[in-house]
Amino acid sequence: MKNNSKSKQPPHWVATRLLSFVAGDDKKATINIGIPEPVSDKEWRCAYQVIIEPTTKPEVQYGHGVDAFQALFMVLGAIRNAIDKSGIALVWLGETTGHGFPLFIPQIFGPDVTEHLEKMIKTELEFASALIIKLKRKTHAK
């Protein structure tokens, strides 16, 4: 994502998430997301920051899209990408895994590929849900 701020004013952050390092030290990562805003009639942008101390500086970046939703989706994908690329295991809410930024299915490959990937994910989720229900019933039966 590029930093092409037209305004000198810092973004108004509307969402902030603090992540912890799995390594157990007191280091934290801060994720900030701003309000999507129009750049032109055909383009929107949304400010964000991924600050993983002490490895990154607090630089404002932007996700762009044809509307506010697409700009926001681009930001959420960029945040996940930045966390994954950092190579640092970060977690949310004290969990042992998972930072709370889901993987999005890119739609750039066309509707057939998107639909195929969605069906695969739904099938896996149905299988996992059925397995969890079965295990819970077994546990409650004891």
| CA atoms in the 13 A half-sphere facing the CB of 106 | 5
> pLDDT tens digit string along 11-52?
899 999 999 888 766 678 999 999 999 999 999 999 999 998
Read off the amino acid at residue 87. G
Burial class (CB in 10 A: 0-12, 13-18, 19+), 73: middle
What are the sequence ranges of the domains in the chain? 1-104, 105-142
Cα–Cα nearest to 19, from 109, 95, 127: 95
> pLDDT tens digit string along 101-126?
988 888 889 999 999 999 999 999 99
